[in-house]
Structure 1
Amino acid sequence: MVNLNELPRRRYTNGPTPLEHLEHLSTQLGGPQIWIKRDDLLGLTQGGNKTRKLEFLIADALAHGADTLVTAGGVQSNHCRLALSAARREGLDCHLVLEEDLGSDGAPVPADAGGNPPKLTGNFLLFDLLGADSTEVHTNGSDLVARANELAAELKTQGKKPYVIPVGGSNVTGALGYVDCAQELLTQFAEVGLDVSSILAPSGSAGMQAGLIAGLHRADSQIPVVGINVSRTQEDQEPKIVNLVDEVASFLELPPVPRERSLGLGDYFGTGYALPTPEMVEAVRLFASTEGILLDPVYTGKAAAGLIDLIRQDRFGDDDNVVFIHSGGVPGLYARAGAFA
């Protein structure tokens, strides 16, 4: 079995993130007991789950002698924000390949003549403040991965040493951050004597969920990790989860992970990725009004909507302890304020 402590890693967070009991929300919903893992409080600019992935990805980039990062995502990408923040921390260049946003009606929000979205807000504002070395905004549906690799090749001809990070940081190297988080969670559960029935997490590029599943499997824990899909049906998402879980398990030299551990529920993403739903709006308002915790509309808002619906379906017992992973992303809330009007 591979020892994570022997792999290259940067550290961007001082100690474990808090595990908090949401007493008021639990009472409001009539059980189960809801706990929240505050990965919105991870290090780097405004925090979020990608920080754990980047601790391993940036270390790998540095080990390969990189002086430049190239990565891709939407104009409100939390991953791009944190990759850029890590680049600033490490003294690396960083180039972003972005996809134009969709409005609440599902139609693309066109870029202006300079290739910028109409509003400099949310994460896109932070790209500007953090000083991205370049940002390209492409039409929705473009092949961002191909363009990121093409840009890396162009940078090589200029004498740079680029390292391409995949969308969401969700490859085996990135997922190791959540293999480590699984052990962090188990330690916290033991410290407070918590018998956890389920962990719920947003499931998008699947690196966080796959890492948690593999990490719990590595520790011989049977706690299920239920993914709430933010962009795909269950039929489309679960193969992505399974494939990455298998790759991570193989890398760590673990026994095969049972297929049924990879669950991604596809009933809550609505009409598409980043497009608001009434249930998301209710969930964001409920967490804020009962616990003073902000969720984001793309990931945690929809995952929380799934959690609330599962509770209302009596999928959990009143005395069950359910842990919700707050993956961050709050800057995106301000770019999508119209959903809450």
Structure 2
Amino acid sequence: MTVCSMASDSALPADYHPPRLKLAQLPTPLQFLPRLSEKLGGPRIWVKRDDLTGSVLSGNKLRKLEFTLAQAQQEGCDTVITCGGLQSNHCRATALLCAQLGLTCHLLLRGDPTGEADGNYLLDKLAGATINTYVAKDYQGAISDLLRQWQQHYQDLGRKAFIIPTGASDGIGVWGYFEACRELQQDFAAANITPQHIICATGSGGTQAGLTAGAQAFNLNAQVWGVNVCDDAAWFMNKVQADLQDWQQRYQLQFDVANQSINVIDGYVGPGYALATAEIYQCIAELASQEGIVLDPVYTGKAFYAMLQEHQQGRFGSDGDIVFVHTGGVFGLFPQRQHFAFLDN
């Protein structure tokens, strides 16, 4: 586990309202997990159910896209270009929202689509998105150029395309989970709790960046922890800080990026992005059977397992309340169904 912690006393714009569309089903519930909490015998575990921001339009991406797509419309764009893995939750949400808003969606996906379309990739196709796929070696170092090339392509056709980065994680997307903290403030008051820790999966940094700024703005008095599901702690500390800096500069906010506490729990990536170990699949199955909550093996499964392991090691203390932000991802389960064969035994 790697932590970058710095004092924070900057004023934040709790009453600033950037352009926003109402796309998600909000507020989402804050759910207590009684059986798991009793089993752990330590802090009470709560889950912010952002897997319930919609049906097929589910997960944390919707909160960010409310602001990102509002900006695209404000700029007069008729096309949205974004990118991610073949089973990207963000790309699926973007494709479906573009269909809802009457925008053309173009997805640049990393991976080789072999066999039948499944999971998020199937939903991308159902949403009518234009899709280009690239093998990892061609995608990794060239995605920025590819996005710009396709944007130019649409410009040459007399159209205007808006680029959304991976996960909608940039200065615009920060607003999604900044505003989610306004909701968490109300949740905590209604439940009469004062959690010391808020934990989320972090895969592109935007959710963690928004939570970090919002926790301060709304005086949640809780430490935000991101569990990286790819790369390493140093990469995410830099990425979260970069997103916050983009946010501050883009909107000219009174916000001291250098004095933020950015905390990353490292060591749970496993074999790599979207690759999980047997312990993760077991954790997913146990939580579903104990509490009726379904995690995914790419993001939330790894982060929830990390939370349980760190709790056992004393990371979060022996009492109080912990809030886990469920960022969705259920459709990522289905392409990995073979890893749940143990359920048939």
Q: Secondary structure at the match of 1:6?
A: coil
Partner of 1:290: 290
Distance 2:58 2:25 in 1: 12
Give the one of 126, 134, 137 matched to 1:129. Answer: 126
**Percent of pairs with identical residues:** 37
Looking at structure 2, the residues matched to 270 and 332 of structure 1 have their Cα atoms a distance apart, in angstroms, of 17
Q: Residues 93 and 242 (structure 1 numbering): CA distance in 2 closer, same or farther, change over 3 Å? A: same
Q: Gaps spanning 5+ residues in structure 1: where?
A: 101-110
Secondary structure of 1:209 counterpart: helix
**Contact 2:196–2:321 (CA<8 Å) still a contact in 1?**
yes
Per-residue displacement from partner, 1:156-207 (whole Å, max 9, x unpaired)?
Answer: 1112211111110001101101110011101110122111010000011100
Structure 1 outlier segments of 4+, above 6 Å = none
Secondary structure in 2 aligned to 1:172? coil
How far, CA to CA, are the matches of 2:146 and 2:278 in structure 1? Answer: 35
Q: CA separation in 2, counterparts of 1:67 and 1:319?
A: 51
Aligned match of 2:225: 226
Residues 162 and 304 (structure 1), Cα distance of their counterparts in 2 relative to 1, 3 Å cut:
same
Structure 2 vs 1, CA of residues 302 and 265 (structure 1 numbering), >3 Å: closer, same or farther?
same
| Residues 157, 11 of structure 1: alpha-carbon distance in 2 compared, 3 angstrom cutoff | same
Q: Which runs of 5+ in 2 are unaligned?
A: 1-11
What is the aligned partner in structure 2 of residue 117 from structure 1? 114
Aligned mates of 1:2, 1:319 — CA distance in 2: 32
Number of the residue aligned with 2:136: 140
Aligned to 2:313: 313
How do 1:17-96 residues align onto structure 2 when only pairs under 5 Å count? 17-43=28-54, 45-96=56-107
In the TM superposition, residue 337 of structure 1 has moved relative to its aligned partner by 1.3
Q: Deviations over 1:119-144 (max 9, x none)?
A: 31010111111111x11110114122
Matched, 1:215 2:214: yes
Which stretch shows the higher mean deviation, 257-266 or 187-196? 257-266
Quote the Cα distance in structure 1 between the aligned partners of 2:92 and 2:73. 19
Distance in structure 2 (CA, Å) of the matches to 1:209 and 1:296:
18
Q: Which amino acid aligns with 1:137?
A: T
For 2:14 and 2:316, how far apart are their aligned partners in 1? Answer: 35
CA deviation map 1:309-339 (0-9, x unaligned): 0111122233220000000010011011122
Structure 2 counterpart of 1:104: none
CA contact (8 A) 1:199 1:224 kept: yes
Q: Tell me by how many angstroms 1:242 deviates.
A: 2.1
How much does 1:226 deviate?
Answer: 0.5
In structure 2, what is the Cα distance between the partners aligned to 1:58 and 1:44?
Answer: 19
Decide whether the 8 Å contact of 2:59 with 2:327 is kept in 1. yes
Tell me which amino acid in the other structure corresponds to 1:199.
Answer: I
Residues 252 and 302 of structure 1: CA distance in aligned 2, closer, same or farther (over 3 Å) = farther
- Paired residues of 1:281 and 1:340 also in contact (CA < 8 A): yes
CA contact (8 A) 2:14 2:217 kept: no
AA paired with 1:265? Answer: I
| CA distance 1:42–1:5, change in 2 (3 Å) | farther
Q: Secondary structure at the match of 2:136?
A: coil
1:167 partner amino acid = T
Q: Aligned residue for 1:187?
A: 186
Which moved further from structure 2: 302-311 or 248-257? Answer: 248-257
Instruction: Output the TM-score relative to the length of structure 1.
Output: 0.91
Match of 1:106 in 2: none
Taking the aligned partners of 1:291 and 1:196, their CA distance within structure 2 comes to 20
The alpha-carbon distance between structure 1 residues 57 and 260, as it changes in their structure 2 partners (threshold 3 A), is closer
User: Structure 1 residues 216-225 or 180-189, which shifts more?
Assistant: 216-225
CA distance in 1, matches of 2:125, 2:208: 30
Deviation at 1:258, TM superposition (A): 5.8
